[in-house]
Amino acid sequence: MTFQRPGGRAPDQLRPVRITRGFTIHAEGSVLIEFGNTRVLCTASVEEKVPPHKRGSGEGWVTAEYGMLPRATHTRGDREAARGKQSGRTQEIQRLIGRSLRAVFDLKKLGERTITLDCDVLQADGGTRTAAITGAFVAAQDAVGKLLAAGTLAESPVLGPVAAISVGIVEGTPLLDLEYVEDVACDTDMNIVMTGAGHYVEVQGTAEGVAFTRAEMDELLRLAEKGISELVGLQRQALGV
Protein backbone atom coordinates (compact mmCIF):
# COMPACT_ATOMS: atom_id res chain seq x y z
CA MET A 1 0.00 0.00 0.00
CA THR A 2 1.14 3.45 -0.84
CA PHE A 3 2.05 6.14 1.73
CA GLN A 4 -0.55 8.96 1.86
CA ARG A 5 1.14 12.34 1.51
CA PRO A 6 -0.04 15.44 3.41
CA GLY A 7 -2.56 17.39 1.35
CA GLY A 8 -3.12 14.44 -0.96
CA ARG A 9 0.00 15.20 -3.00
CA ALA A 10 0.92 12.56 -5.61
CA PRO A 11 4.21 10.70 -5.04
CA ASP A 12 5.81 12.34 -8.08
CA GLN A 13 4.38 15.81 -7.44
CA LEU A 14 6.35 18.89 -6.39
CA ARG A 15 4.99 21.20 -3.73
CA PRO A 16 3.81 24.58 -5.06
CA VAL A 17 6.96 26.49 -6.01
CA ARG A 18 7.16 30.27 -6.00
CA ILE A 19 10.13 32.31 -7.13
CA THR A 20 10.09 36.03 -6.23
CA ARG A 21 12.87 38.12 -7.78
CA GLY A 22 13.97 41.42 -6.29
CA PHE A 23 12.87 40.44 -2.78
CA THR A 24 15.40 42.80 -1.20
CA ILE A 25 16.90 45.93 -2.73
CA HIS A 26 20.64 46.01 -2.08
CA ALA A 27 21.93 42.74 -3.55
CA GLU A 28 22.78 42.33 -7.24
CA GLY A 29 20.40 39.35 -7.20
CA SER A 30 17.77 38.71 -4.53
CA VAL A 31 15.32 35.85 -4.75
CA LEU A 32 12.81 34.44 -2.30
CA ILE A 33 12.14 30.85 -3.26
CA GLU A 34 9.34 28.83 -1.73
CA PHE A 35 8.87 25.05 -1.93
CA GLY A 36 5.54 24.84 -0.09
CA ASN A 37 6.24 26.15 3.41
CA THR A 38 10.00 26.15 2.93
CA ARG A 39 11.16 29.71 2.29
CA VAL A 40 14.74 30.61 1.49
CA LEU A 41 16.12 34.04 0.73
CA CYS A 42 18.94 33.76 -1.83
CA THR A 43 21.04 36.84 -2.53
CA ALA A 44 23.88 37.12 -5.01
CA SER A 45 26.63 39.61 -4.20
CA VAL A 46 29.31 40.61 -6.68
CA GLU A 47 32.71 41.66 -5.38
CA GLU A 48 35.63 42.77 -7.51
CA LYS A 49 38.12 40.47 -5.81
CA VAL A 50 38.84 36.76 -5.60
CA PRO A 51 40.04 34.45 -2.83
CA PRO A 52 43.82 33.83 -2.59
CA HIS A 53 43.81 30.59 -4.64
CA LYS A 54 42.42 32.47 -7.66
CA ARG A 55 44.48 35.67 -7.49
CA GLY A 56 46.23 36.42 -10.73
CA SER A 57 44.58 33.46 -12.46
CA GLY A 58 42.29 35.54 -14.61
CA GLU A 59 39.45 33.40 -13.28
CA GLY A 60 36.62 34.30 -10.96
CA TRP A 61 34.99 32.41 -8.12
CA VAL A 62 31.46 31.43 -7.15
CA THR A 63 30.83 30.48 -3.53
CA ALA A 64 27.93 30.10 -1.13
CA GLU A 65 27.05 30.54 2.52
CA TYR A 66 24.02 29.00 4.18
CA GLY A 67 22.23 29.86 7.37
CA MET A 68 18.97 29.20 9.12
CA LEU A 69 17.22 31.76 11.29
CA PRO A 70 16.97 30.37 14.82
CA ARG A 71 13.19 30.07 14.70
CA ALA A 72 12.84 28.94 11.08
CA THR A 73 12.03 25.53 12.56
CA HIS A 74 9.44 24.01 14.92
CA THR A 75 11.65 24.46 17.95
CA ARG A 76 14.22 27.22 18.27
CA GLY A 77 17.75 26.23 17.33
CA ASP A 78 20.96 27.83 18.53
CA ARG A 79 22.11 30.89 16.64
CA GLU A 80 25.37 29.79 15.05
CA ALA A 81 26.91 33.26 15.37
CA ALA A 82 26.24 33.21 19.12
CA ARG A 83 27.58 29.66 19.52
CA GLY A 84 30.71 30.75 17.68
CA LYS A 85 30.79 28.15 14.98
CA GLN A 86 28.88 26.72 12.09
CA SER A 87 27.71 23.15 12.47
CA GLY A 88 29.03 20.36 10.28
CA ARG A 89 25.61 20.24 8.61
CA THR A 90 25.76 23.94 7.71
CA GLN A 91 29.23 23.63 6.26
CA GLU A 92 28.26 20.55 4.28
CA ILE A 93 25.26 22.34 2.78
CA GLN A 94 27.10 25.51 1.84
CA ARG A 95 29.88 23.51 0.21
CA LEU A 96 27.22 21.66 -1.79
CA ILE A 97 25.54 24.88 -2.94
CA GLY A 98 28.88 26.37 -3.97
CA ARG A 99 29.92 23.30 -6.00
CA SER A 100 26.50 23.13 -7.66
CA LEU A 101 26.61 26.72 -8.84
CA ARG A 102 30.23 26.49 -10.01
CA ALA A 103 29.17 23.56 -12.18
CA VAL A 104 27.27 25.95 -14.45
CA PHE A 105 29.77 28.81 -14.44
CA ASP A 106 32.66 29.40 -16.79
CA LEU A 107 35.00 30.99 -14.25
CA LYS A 108 37.29 32.24 -17.01
CA LYS A 109 34.45 34.25 -18.55
CA LEU A 110 33.47 35.59 -15.13
CA GLY A 111 36.86 37.30 -14.80
CA GLU A 112 38.59 38.04 -11.51
CA ARG A 113 35.48 38.69 -9.44
CA THR A 114 33.49 36.70 -6.89
CA ILE A 115 29.78 35.96 -6.76
CA THR A 116 28.70 34.99 -3.25
CA LEU A 117 25.34 33.31 -2.85
CA ASP A 118 23.88 33.80 0.62
CA CYS A 119 21.07 31.35 1.24
CA ASP A 120 19.20 32.10 4.45
CA VAL A 121 16.27 29.96 5.49
CA LEU A 122 13.42 32.11 6.80
CA GLN A 123 11.08 29.16 7.28
CA ALA A 124 11.91 25.46 7.06
CA ASP A 125 9.70 22.56 6.08
CA GLY A 126 12.12 20.13 4.45
CA GLY A 127 14.21 20.56 1.30
CA THR A 128 15.99 23.77 2.32
CA ARG A 129 19.22 22.88 0.52
CA THR A 130 17.48 22.00 -2.74
CA ALA A 131 15.37 25.15 -2.61
CA ALA A 132 18.55 27.11 -1.91
CA ILE A 133 20.34 25.76 -4.98
CA THR A 134 17.32 26.31 -7.21
CA GLY A 135 16.82 29.86 -5.96
CA ALA A 136 20.52 30.72 -5.91
CA PHE A 137 20.72 30.01 -9.61
CA VAL A 138 18.06 32.63 -10.31
CA ALA A 139 19.81 35.15 -8.05
CA ALA A 140 23.12 34.45 -9.75
CA GLN A 141 21.53 34.87 -13.15
CA ASP A 142 20.16 38.27 -12.06
CA ALA A 143 23.58 39.35 -10.84
CA VAL A 144 25.12 38.31 -14.14
CA GLY A 145 22.38 40.22 -15.93
CA LYS A 146 23.44 43.38 -14.07
CA LEU A 147 27.09 42.83 -15.00
CA LEU A 148 26.11 42.39 -18.66
CA ALA A 149 23.85 45.43 -18.61
CA ALA A 150 26.62 47.54 -17.09
CA GLY A 151 29.07 46.32 -19.72
CA THR A 152 31.33 44.87 -17.05
CA LEU A 153 30.92 41.51 -18.78
CA ALA A 154 30.63 41.21 -22.54
CA GLU A 155 29.41 37.63 -22.51
CA SER A 156 27.53 35.58 -19.92
CA PRO A 157 29.64 33.10 -17.94
CA VAL A 158 26.52 31.03 -17.25
CA LEU A 159 26.56 27.70 -19.10
CA GLY A 160 22.95 26.83 -18.36
CA PRO A 161 20.50 26.29 -15.52
CA VAL A 162 21.05 24.15 -12.45
CA ALA A 163 18.38 23.01 -10.01
CA ALA A 164 18.04 20.53 -7.17
CA ILE A 165 15.39 18.37 -5.59
CA SER A 166 15.12 15.79 -2.84
CA VAL A 167 13.68 12.33 -3.27
CA GLY A 168 13.22 9.57 -0.71
CA ILE A 169 11.51 6.38 0.29
CA VAL A 170 8.85 6.57 3.00
CA GLU A 171 7.19 3.36 4.13
CA GLY A 172 8.29 1.72 0.90
CA THR A 173 6.98 4.48 -1.37
CA PRO A 174 9.43 6.52 -3.42
CA LEU A 175 8.49 10.21 -3.19
CA LEU A 176 9.49 13.47 -4.89
CA ASP A 177 10.29 16.64 -2.90
CA LEU A 178 10.02 15.55 0.74
CA GLU A 179 8.48 17.92 3.23
CA TYR A 180 9.50 17.85 6.90
CA VAL A 181 7.14 15.15 8.18
CA GLU A 182 8.16 12.92 5.29
CA ASP A 183 11.84 13.68 5.79
CA VAL A 184 11.86 12.51 9.40
CA ALA A 185 9.96 9.34 8.45
CA CYS A 186 12.01 8.35 5.41
CA ASP A 187 14.32 5.35 5.14
CA THR A 188 16.30 6.78 2.28
CA ASP A 189 16.96 10.42 1.56
CA MET A 190 18.57 11.58 -1.65
CA ASN A 191 19.41 15.04 -2.94
CA ILE A 192 19.99 15.39 -6.65
CA VAL A 193 21.45 18.37 -8.48
CA MET A 194 21.11 18.42 -12.26
CA THR A 195 21.70 20.76 -15.16
CA GLY A 196 19.03 21.92 -17.58
CA ALA A 197 20.45 19.37 -20.02
CA GLY A 198 19.54 16.56 -17.64
CA HIS A 199 23.05 15.70 -16.52
CA TYR A 200 24.11 15.06 -12.93
CA VAL A 201 26.06 17.59 -10.91
CA GLU A 202 25.62 15.97 -7.49
CA VAL A 203 23.99 12.81 -6.20
CA GLN A 204 23.88 12.42 -2.43
CA GLY A 205 21.90 9.48 -1.18
CA THR A 206 21.83 8.24 2.40
CA ALA A 207 20.09 5.24 3.88
CA GLU A 208 18.70 6.56 7.15
CA GLY A 209 17.19 3.20 8.06
CA VAL A 210 17.72 0.07 5.94
CA ALA A 211 20.11 0.13 3.00
CA PHE A 212 18.41 0.60 -0.36
CA THR A 213 18.56 -1.52 -3.48
CA ARG A 214 19.59 -0.69 -7.00
CA ALA A 215 15.97 -0.88 -8.15
CA GLU A 216 14.98 1.68 -5.53
CA MET A 217 17.79 3.96 -6.58
CA ASP A 218 16.68 3.77 -10.21
CA GLU A 219 13.15 4.80 -9.25
CA LEU A 220 14.46 7.70 -7.14
CA LEU A 221 16.62 8.92 -10.01
CA ARG A 222 13.58 8.83 -12.31
CA LEU A 223 11.51 10.94 -9.89
CA ALA A 224 14.32 13.45 -9.47
CA GLU A 225 14.73 13.85 -13.21
CA LYS A 226 11.03 14.66 -13.54
CA GLY A 227 11.13 17.17 -10.67
CA ILE A 228 14.23 18.96 -11.85
CA SER A 229 12.85 19.28 -15.35
CA GLU A 230 9.83 21.08 -13.86
CA LEU A 231 12.01 23.30 -11.64
CA VAL A 232 14.14 24.36 -14.59
CA GLY A 233 10.94 25.34 -16.36
CA LEU A 234 9.90 27.44 -13.37
CA GLN A 235 13.31 29.11 -13.22
CA ARG A 236 13.03 30.00 -16.92
CA GLN A 237 9.51 31.33 -16.41
CA ALA A 238 10.62 33.47 -13.44
CA LEU A 239 13.54 34.85 -15.44
CA GLY A 240 11.32 35.44 -18.46
CA VAL A 241 13.63 33.56 -20.82
Mark the binding-site residues for phosphate, compressed into ranges.
Answer: 89, 127-129
Please answer whether residues 117 and 136 qualify as being in contact, where contact means their C-beta atoms are separated by less than 8 angstroms.
yes
Q: Does 24 bind a copy of itself (CB under 8 A)?
A: yes
Of 93-122, which residues contact a copy of itself (CB under 8 A)? 94-95, 99, 103, 116, 118, 120, 122
Helical spans, DSSP H, in 12-169: 80-83, 88-102, 107-110, 128-149
Q: Does 82 bind a copy of itself (CB under 8 A)?
A: yes
Report the C-alpha gap between 155 and 157 in whole angstroms.
Answer: 6
Of 130-169, which residues contact a copy of itself (CB under 8 A)? none
Exposure class string for 190-209: b at 16+ Cβ within 10 A, else e: bbbbbbbeeeebbeebeeee
Q: Does 20 bind a copy of itself (CB under 8 A)?
A: no
Contact segment (CB under 8 A) with a copy of itself among 20-28, 150-158, 163-171, 233-241 equals 20-28
Choose between 41 and 153: whose C-beta lies nearer to a copy of itself: 41
Exposure class string for 7-22: b at 16+ Cβ within 10 A, else e: eebebbbbbebebebe
Q: Give the closest residue to 140 by CA, choosing from 108, 98, 199, 177.
A: 98
Specify the pairing of strand 29-35 against strand 38-47.
Answer: antiparallel
Q: Does 49 bind a copy of itself (CB under 8 A)?
A: no
Q: Does 183 bind a copy of itself (CB under 8 A)?
A: no
Q: Does 1 bind a copy of itself (CB under 8 A)?
A: no
Give min distance, CB of 207 to a copy of itself, in A: 5
Q: Does 203 bind a copy of itself (CB under 8 A)?
A: yes
Q: Facing residues of 65 across strands?
A: 118
Dihedral over Cα of 40, 46, 50, 56: its sign: positive
Q: Does 229 bind a copy of itself (CB under 8 A)?
A: no
Q: Does 201 bind a copy of itself (CB under 8 A)?
A: yes
Choose between 71 and 237: whose C-beta lies nearer to a copy of itself: 71
Q: Does 53 bind a copy of itself (CB under 8 A)?
A: no
Give min distance, CB of 102 to a copy of itself, in A: 10
DSSP string for residues in 22-63 = --SSSSSEEEEEEETTEEEEEEEEEES---GGGTTSS--EEE
- Residues at the interface with a copy of itself (CB under 8 A): 24-27, 30, 37, 39, 41, 43, 45, 47, 65, 67, 69-74, 76, 79-82, 84-86, 88-92, 94-95, 99, 103, 116, 118, 120, 122-124, 190, 194-195, 197, 199-207, 210-214, 217, 221
